[in-house]
Structure 1
Amino acid sequence: MGQCYAKNVSVAGDDAVADIHDPAQSPLPSAATPAKGTTPSRSSSAAAAASPWLSSLPADVAPSPARSTPRRFFRRPFPPPSPAKHIKAVLARRQGQPKPSEGTIPEEDGGRIGGGGGGGEGDRPLDKTFGYGKNFGDKYELGKEIGRGHFGHTCLARAKKGEITGQLVAVKIISKAKMTTAISVEDVRREVKILKALSGHANLVKFYDACEDAFNVYVIMELCEGGELLDRILSRGGRYTEEDAKVIVVQILSVVAFCHLQGVVHRDLKPENFLFSTRSENSHMKVIDFGLSDFIRPDERLNDIVGSAYYVAPEVLHRSYSTEADIWSVGVITYILLCGSRPFWARTESGIFRAVLRADPNFDDSPWPAISSEAKDFLRRLLNKDYRKRMTAAQALIHPWLRDEQRQVPVDMLVYKLVKAYLRATPFKRAALKALSKALTEDELIYVRSQFNLLEPHKDGCVSLENFRMALTKNATPAMKEARVLDILSALQPLSYRRMNFDEFCAATISPFQLEALEGWEQIASTAFEYFEQEGNRVITIEELAQEMKLAPAAYSIVRDWIRPTDGKLSFLGYTKFLHGVTMRGSNTRHRR
């Protein structure tokens, strides 16, 4: 098990397989000295310093303009022996290298990541105009450099005009000369768009302005003087107490829940990308570096591998993922806070990826015996390799380890997705979910009640489509429009003509996959089946059951054992399987336009 001060290795770093030294001999780099191999900000152009603001220590489908990245289907249960080869191919394309490295796995679409990102660029010059202001020198007085990365650098500056006149800011300077592909140009454009759209949350770095000239793009942001979360972990000897860790994790989850509701997935959450506003011990944290981030619509999947190796989720390596990948990264950060070690470690990138895909976190060695069972349960529900079983950020904030009745719970997009599926379900499926809802534990009901109350029910205790619309629009930012989050309301149109009481809302908003991750799942399922036997179970043929699950005739044999031969009704096995459904691989793959 490597210590938290082992050298960080990036999934999309400068080297496809970085030189990893013994963790005890190779401390993680500070913000002032970015390491060879730390994650560049998404592309050759979007990256600046590893930490673009002042340090307390001394001196990620990344969409293409065409949005047509194909998904790669693997015949084996895991990606090829060296997932790093995919990243080498991505980097070659993003940096404009003429040939991929030896051993890269050829991609569909002629080996081009992002479909069309590099095509034709040798025939016509790239358009590197962004439409930003041209008056950077008139508005800001540039100061000393405070950080440098492989493709850019960050400087102090003082505002000379506008609402922040006299204020110190951080300026991320991105060289246009390094923008060698259409993808890299689009990366910069999208990073600025995301920062501008999301700015306003207490735990998100403030965006002030963007300027350009013939040579550079200048991104002007809030200056955070308290240093990285990584610095503070190291200053504590690699460990936080549970109470101190909770303060950090709540701030991380709060901003992650906000981003996910807006339709933004960060894709590079790690201690280096959280900065403290001031040097005070009680300072607020701010998430930075949206160079790998992307807008994502509800129910869609991204498919290219980006991020940092130690924090990358299994489904990212499988090239089909969504916002749940950020939750995995939060789990890794929490694990490091509590014990000072990374949960998945190896001396090569490929070794790290194999550990992420196959190994389980260690909860046996010191200090884990002294850490609360609630904290360990919290981590297990974040670091579940099945993304469907992971908690969302909103759910994590209400987990017993973090629960605070005084804290406002954020609206959870998962509720909208589950209600959408419930409204499209058959009466038989709804009966199965209703039985399951009656067996919920009080911990699970607390979450459901909090989400129901956020919808501000009518006086009769019911909610309608208008309640769902109001809850979304109350939290809307320009990012929601870009990610087309509000489109999900069209799937809830049946609620225009009727209302949903709490009991039905409870049945509609529970996830059998998440419940299966609970230690008490067997008892919950057994109790639910008793209710189902009394109120919902009925005689059903193999053909009817297969049609309920939208299976082709060739797949009827899948459900044959789910029906009791004695009375033709669902057995306990059949009931639990029916709740989960049959997932056909690749059915929900996102194909970029």
Structure 2
Amino acid sequence: MGQCYGKNIPVVVEDDITSRTGDRPQTPPTSTPFNGAVSVPSVKHSSAHSSSNSPWPSPFPHGTASSPLPPGISASPARSTPRRFFRRPFPPPSPAKHIKASLVKRFGHSKPKEGPIPEDGTEVERSLDKNFEYSKNFETKYELGKEVGRGHFGHTCSAKGKKGEAKGHLVAVKIISKAKMTTAISIEDVRREVKILKALSGHQNLVKFYDACEDANNVYIVMELCEGGELLDRILSRGGRYTEEDAKAIVVQILNVVAFCHLQGVVHRDLKPENFLFATRDEDAPMKLIDFGLSDFIRPDERLNDIVGSAYYVAPEVLHRSYTMEADIWSIGVITYILLCGSRPFWARTESGIFRAVLRADPNFDDSPWPVVTTEAKDFVKRLLNKDHRKRMTAAQALTHPWLRGKSCPVPLDILIYKLVKSYLRATPFKRAALKALSKALTEDELMYLRAQYRLLEPHKDGRVSHENFKMALLRNATDAMKESRVLDILNTMEQLSHRKMDFEEFCAAAISTYQLEALEKWEQIASTAFEYFEQEGNRVTSVDELAREMNLGPTAHSILNDWIRSSDGKLSFLGYTKFLHGVTIRSSNTRHQSSA
């Protein structure tokens, strides 16, 4: 079973890590390895980094601790991933300056105070409700085996089920100490993790949840035992990187389970190689996504603002404290980059340096082995690691990318389709005409994804879809998590389709994202072709005032909008057409770009 880790306390030793050139840290900090099928939502005292005698030009450490891993795979007690919560703030006005406050709010003091606990602290501790209303008969249902890992909040053991669904099965039990839950947020984290694991069900790449129990001292989370080790350890066993073909098999599994979570309205927020375990020691064993301790439910139009995750895998918008599911896609991009080349795309010797790299630097695709990596693979990674979250592919879209097309994997339903159709139905006729022209310029690569989504809606015999199709498609894929995140509420904003139907041509216009198309190298060609269609069928005379109302802009926008309208005939120019598609909001003293979705 691979080694998994819990949350880390914010005050730790200096963060030295390996550099791109292969330099090793002079004084690597110590680590507290944590073994188990899933990681206890705990706080570690430090994170560790690459061993100074590692033979591989890789960012990953070469573990030496014993672990029941497949032959040739060594465990990795010294983790390559730095702390999940980040100690160092940037100089103002960096978004990282809020991190310490977030940590204190979640965990209380960054490290325990010495000496007796003050009376006021005791009163706060006693006021916390640590009754989870879980089953109280853990000992009658499970026989604990050996301890396989230890963290700050508790430890993980193997166990054997005595009764119920897990009877006769080996399972993993996370034993979480209630004494370590010193804040209301830390208690809520445990409640939410159990709720998410219980609500999500039925996916082959998701760790199976069995039970949650408690007694006066601990919470027990019982889950599937994964004995094949971490993805990180498999990477290590291959010298630090995968071949493209083997990487595809890994990435497809990651995308599938993340697409499933996102459709249910669950964002993981801590995707990294350590959080994917192999079910068995077999080379082709399926992977399981674990550790939902930082995960959360998210409604279709909601944005999150708390800074959580692991430094090397954190998305730029997380540091800006406004993000949604696209943050997970960024993390998948980082994992894929590592799989293909064995290096981190964003690197620095300190956490604040990592943050700066994530916000400002571009991944390196020039050094070995990238010159011999296929163009499709590089394009795939770039479309996940776009700093503009609106331009990233979704997990479902990524499964139709040319790099993965030969893997013959079914494309799951994508919640993005619902969000885009909702916006299309609310758009003005002029905007719809512009989108219809854009849809006619799409190439076969873009149409493949749209066709797959349209088929999942199961059109009527006349080839069209209505509100009922969108509703039933969601219900066919629903779990209890979808109810918790209120995903079905989005159907209320699509009521127009109760009175009419949408054919595939209109669906394409409704379900395309201008932002994602702008990320393509051939965007200029697509836009130029689309504008030709728009000139023929949709372009018309418009005024600055009308265009401002159309885009919900104030008077301060008029001077810019003048450049979008041709003086010769009063119609949108090519510049105006692309800007109109993109959507711009101009407010008094500044200009901001925002999604029209």
Aligned residues: 541
Which one of the candidate residues 375, 397, 400 is aligned to 1:398?
400
The residue type paired with residue 314 of structure 2 is V
In structure 1, what is the equivalent of residue 86 of structure 2? none
Any idea what SS the aligned residue of 2:124 has?
coil
Change (3 A) 1:9 1:214: closer
Q: Could you say which residue in structure 1 is the equivalent of 2:85? A: none
Structure 1 residue 88 and structure 2 residue 100: aligned?
A: yes
CA distance in 1, matches of 2:321, 2:332: 19
Cα offsets for 1:545-586 (capped at 9, x unmatched): 000001122333332211111111111000000001014689
2:43–2:151 contact (8 Å) kept in structure 1 = no
1:33 aligns with 2:33: yes
For 1:296 and 1:120, locate their aligned partners in 2 and report how far apart those are by CA, in whole Å. Answer: 34
Tell me, what secondary structure is at the counterpart of 1:376?
helix
Aligned match of 1:182: 184
CA distance in 1, matches of 2:112, 2:516: 40
Counterpart-to-counterpart distance in 2, 1:583 and 1:472: 32
Instruction: Decide whether the 8 Å contact of 2:7 with 2:41 is kept in 1.
Output: no
Q: CA deviation at 1:287?
A: 0.4
Distance 2:155 2:6 in 1: 19
Does residue 519 of the first structure (1) align with residue 526 of the second (2)?
no
Instruction: Give how far 1:184 is off.
Output: 1.0
Is 2:384 the partner of 1:354?
no
- 2:100 partner letter: K
Say whether the 8 Å CA contact 2:548–2:561 is kept in structure 1. Answer: yes
In 2: Cα distance, 1:573 partner to 1:357 partner: 28
- Superposed displacement of residue 54, structure 1: 6.5
Q: Evaluate the alpha carbon distance shift between residue 586 and residue 294 of structure 1 in structure 2; reply closer, same or farther with a 3 A threshold.
A: farther
- How many Å separate the matches in 1 of 2:444 and 2:553? 35
Contact 1:300–1:588 (CA<8 Å) still a contact in 2?
no
- Give 1:166's aligned residue: 168
SS at the partner of 1:326?
helix
Larger RCO of the pair (alpha carbons < 8 Å, separation 6+) = 1
SS of equivalent to 2:540: coil
Determine the C-alpha separation between the residues in 2 that align with 1:264 and 1:354: 28
Partner of 2:428: 426
Shift of 1:452: 0.5
Cα distance between partner residues in 1 of 2:329 and 2:8: 19
- Counterpart code for 2:549: Q
| Structure-2 change in CA distance of 1:514 and 1:535 (3 Å) | same
Q: Name the residue aligned to 1:112.
A: none
What is the CA-CA distance between 1:588 and the residue it aligns to?
Answer: 8.6
User: Could you say what secondary structure the match of 1:132 adopts?
Assistant: coil
Separation in 2, partners of 1:40, 1:165: 23
Corresponding residue to 1:339 among 332, 338, 341: 341
Q: Give 1:114's aligned residue.
A: none
User: Of the candidates 317, 320, 332, which is equivalent to residue 318 of structure 1?
Assistant: 320
Report the AA paired with residue 141 of structure 1: E
Indicate yes or no: 2:554 matched with 1:529.
no
Aligned to 1:104: none
The letter for the 2-side match of 1:93 is K
Secondary structure (helix, strand or coil) at the match of 1:217 reads strand
Structure 2: how far apart are the matches of 1:79 and 1:262?
Answer: 38
Q: Matches of residues 78-477 of structure 1 in structure 2 within 5 Å? A: 80=92, 83-97=95-109, 122=124, 125-404=127-406, 406-477=408-479
8 Å contact 1:159–1:166 — kept in the other structure?
yes
Q: CA deviation at 1:135?
A: 0.3
1:401 is paired with a residue whose SS is helix
Deviation at 1:294, TM superposition (A): 0.3
Over residues 391-446 of structure 1, what are the superposed CA-to-partner deviations in whole Å (9 max), with x where a residue is unaligned? 00000001000014742110000000000000000000000000000000110001
- Distance in 2 (CA, whole Å) between partners of 1:499 and 1:163 is 45
CA distance in 2, matches of 1:32, 1:54: 15
Q: What is the CA–CA distance in structure 2 between the aligned matches of 1:560 and 1:40, rounded to whole Å? A: 57
Find the residue that maps to 1:163 and give its secondary structure.
Answer: helix
Question: Deviation of residue 13 (structure 1)?
Answer: 4.9
Q: Distance in 2 between matches of 1:286 and 1:388?
A: 28
Structure 1 segments unaligned to the other structure (5+ residues): 1-7, 60-77, 102-117
Query: Distance between the aligned counterparts of 1:586 and 1:436, measured in 2?
Result: 23
Structure 2 CA distance, aligned partners of 1:168 and 1:350? 42
Q: What is aligned with 1:72?
A: none
Task: Note if contact 2:40-2:174 (Cα within 8 Å) is conserved in structure 1.
Answer: no
List runs of 5+ in structure 2 lacking aligned partners: 47-62, 78-89, 114-119
Query: Residue 122 of structure 1: SS of its match in structure 2?
Result: helix
Q: What is the percent sequence identity of the aligned residues?
A: 74
Whether 1:20 and 2:22 are equivalent positions in the alignment is no
Counterpart pick for 1:560 among 558, 562, 577 = 562
* 1:66-77 aligned within 5 A: none
Deviations 1:110-136 (A, max 9, x none): xxxxxxxx9997396111111100000
Aligned with residue 571 of structure 1, among 570, 573, 590:
573
CA distance, structure 2, for counterparts of residue 29 and residue 164 of structure 1:
39
Instruction: Name the TM-score, length of structure 2 as normaliser.
Output: 0.85
Question: Equivalents in 2 of 1:174, 1:329: separation in Å?
Answer: 27
CA apart distance, 1:200? 1.9
Counterpart of 1:297, as a letter, is R
Q: Distance in 2 between matches of 1:467 and 1:30?
A: 55
Structure 1 residue 354: deviation in Å? 0.4
Q: CA deviation at 1:247?
A: 0.3
Contact 1:13–1:40 under 8 Å retained in 2: no
| CA distance in structure 2 between the aligned counterparts of 1:493 and 1:192, rounded to whole angstroms | 34
**Aligned residues of 1:11 and 1:308 also touching (Cα < 8 A):** no
The runs of at least 4 aligned residues of structure 1 exceeding 4 Å deviation read: 8-13, 26-32, 39-45, 81-84, 98-101, 118-121, 583-589
CA distance in 2, matches of 1:564, 1:413: 38
CA distance in 2, matches of 1:17, 1:281: 37
- Rounded Cα–Cα distance in structure 1 between residues aligned with 2:524 and 2:317: 26
Shift of 1:147: 1.2
Sort the Cα spacing of 1:396 and 1:414 in 2 relative to 1 into closer, same or farther, 3 A.
same
1:69 aligns to what?
none
> In angstroms, what is the RMSD of aligned CA positions?
3.2
Find the aligned partners of 2:465 and 2:143 in 1 and give their Cα distance. 53
Question: In the alignment, is the contact (CA less than 8 A) between 1:32 and 1:147 conserved in 2?
Answer: no
Q: One-letter code of the match for 1:94?
A: R
Q: For 1:303, what is the secondary structure of its paired residue?
A: coil
Taking the aligned partners of 1:214 and 1:10, their CA distance within structure 2 comes to 22
Cα pair 2:437 2:534 within 8 Å, conserved: yes
Shift in alpha-carbon separation, 1:357–1:351, aligned structure 2, 3 A: same
Query: Does the Cα contact within 8 Å between 2:15 and 2:351 map onto a contact in 1?
Result: no
Is the alpha carbon distance of 1:30 and 1:261 closer, same or farther for their aligned partners in structure 2, counting shifts above 3 Å?
farther
- What TM-score comes out, normalization by structure 1 length? 0.86
The 3 A distance-change label for structure 1 pair 88 and 405 is closer
Q: Are the structure 2 counterparts of residues 31 and 336 from structure 1 closer, same or farther at C-alpha, using a change threshold of 3 Å?
A: farther
Which residue is 1:110 aligned to? none
Shift of 1:18: 4.2
Q: CA 1:245–1:99 in 2, change beyond 3 Å: closer, same or farther?
A: closer
